[in-house]
Amino acid sequence: MNQRTGIFSGSFDPIHIGHLALANYLCEFAGLDELWFMVSPQNPLKDEADLLEDRKRLELVELAIAHYPKFLASDFEFRLPRPSYTAHTLNKLRESFPEQEFYLIIGSDNWNLFPFWKNSEQIIATTPILIYPRPGFPIDEKQLPKTVRVVQAPLLDVSSTFIRQAIAMGKDIRYFLHPAVYKKIKQENFYSIL
């Protein structure tokens, strides 16, 4: 049987306990064998100053997941043309890893926007999708295509924006981050001045 691999894409700027708890739940309770944190490269249409440099965000993910064997930090999209579209990434992943069965992981907020994604119908036809709940974005499960299911993961409403703003304000938010990530952010002075 093929390895069931979840693809969890994001800027992870920075990765926090909400990301980690969700990913942990998906591996232990939603049938995934492993989960890849797909760190999205800097969008060329956005201001470079808006995002911590690609490799630094990847390093924070690597620190956060170092001791859990079902997680992998991936820079796969760093080598793809930009902007990186999910449909293109999934096609390239299937070409590169034919033995894997990839599952796309998205929040219910993104599912509401999914019809506007590039090649969204193709993604639905070729890739199982796991939707996790986000506050204020309910999903009518009766309306979902066969390849799409909602996972009842616990809600942890933490955002990277909140983390960055709190750090810039000098707040001690160590319990919102993996200890190794918190230590690295403090050492390198990431996000201190936005």
Kindly report, residue by residue over 160-193, the tens digit of the pLDDT.
999 999 999 999 999 999 999 999 999 999 998 6
Query: Is 107 inside any structural domain?
Result: yes
- Could you report the per-residue pLDDT of 52-89, keeping only the tens digit for each? 999 999 999 999 999 999 999 999 999 999 888 999 99
Tell whether 168 is covered by a domain. Answer: no
Mean pLDDT of the 18-41 span: 97
Host domain of residue 48? 3-156
How would DSSP label each residue in 133-172?
--TT----GGGS-TTEEE--PPP----HHHHHHHHHTT--
Tell whether 124 is covered by a domain: yes
Task: Give me the number of domains the chain comprises.
Answer: 1
Per-residue pLDDT, averaged over 32-56, amounts to 83
In this structure, is residue 113 part of a structural domain?
A: yes
Note whether residue 171 is domain-resident.
no
Strand order of the β-sheet with 100-107 is 71-74, 34-39, 3-10, 100-107, 129-132, 148-150
Q: Please compute the mean of the pLDDT values over residues 93-115 and round it to a whole number.
A: 96
- Does a structural domain hold residue 119? yes
Tell me if 186 is assigned to some domain. no
- Write the CATH number for 140: 3.40.50.620
